Structure 1
């Protein structure tokens, strides 16, 4: 019986992949993943059997990984970012339970999109925050709206994943509408697209003006809480030191 490494490769740049992730890829017989993510780690794929597929074929990829591992292969399943955040780790475990397999599973963390985007923006996640995906492919929009409402009313910093696609353009507008009920119009908002990649863009704007900026499926939108401020085009969310210690 083989094993499956579920590997997070970070936001995109090869330099952002952890040594542990690289080691798992290099020690594997087979590497499986979405074609776009595999293209980003091409330097590590020499000599490997590579199984590539298109978006929306996640279940097929996972079943293929188990088919190969159950024959004795060491398989790496590639996830962008961190495999445990909107990625492949959960599905791998769901299918493992369904198959009741004895294949070993090793989840290797990666640098998540929210970490990379926050670093580009300054220090927006220094206090409690919530990550919410605006994709309604697997989650009803009614539930997404309920979660946005709860996060906004509780004054969390909010990170929006999958904010807008060619088909799905109104969800980010609805998110802005809900959050605006609880936040000042000038609340800082950061929009990072394609973090760490060659076409990366970083924008700091406000809640009232955020929809005027380019936002797509490669973007993360970070919306500050009531304490977040900007300084020299950076977002800063205070942790509370100023109120407790002399700065």
Structure 2
């Protein structure tokens, strides 16, 4: 009976080791890092990057390990998991299955034998793809041209994917003022009001598509840029840096040339009359 009681703690500890793999064992452990974008596009592969180092006796090795990746939907019904072999000391890129629009959590960790790395969890959003378009000011800044590049089956601009266009006037250092909002457009030419052009300020145009993407033509998802740069036309650029400094330099140079020319003529006339 005493022997059975003595074995109970040992049995419990043994079962615990079997049920819960070790995070590290003395000087043996795994360090993991991962890169996951906060947002992805619907129906496009989910690209992630991972990096691990397996340490033995507190020394780094180039041992490979198993990378466990799990994706679960938060506001959608979805579950996925897959194991990959990852080489130690080298960053690796993995393409996970594409996802539908929604909110998800990705959990990543590495395992080697009975050693587990820490678990890293990321929440991501998956959104509809931006609607393509072209937009630009005329060379004189009097017009702004916009056209959706989303076409339907007949090759015409698809009316089911309209945009919202917002026109602002900005006179630094004041805040920009919203002048006009145009909704449900797929193609338009906007005449910039003379009040903006004559103010010497800056005209700003934001283009927002059906899914909420703002100025998507100039954004870069790979660098975590999820809102593009507004289209702008500066009507007072001649009086702003760096153009103004160059203009002043040219003005001073012109004045200097004129002064030198007048002086040269003056001395020439005196010499000639003498």
In which range does the TM-score fall when normalised by the shorter chain? under 0.3
The structure with the largest strand share of the pair is 2
Q: Which TM-score applies when normalising by structure 2?
A: 0.20
The structure with the largest helix share of the pair is 1
Q: Which TM-score applies when normalising by structure 1?
A: 0.21
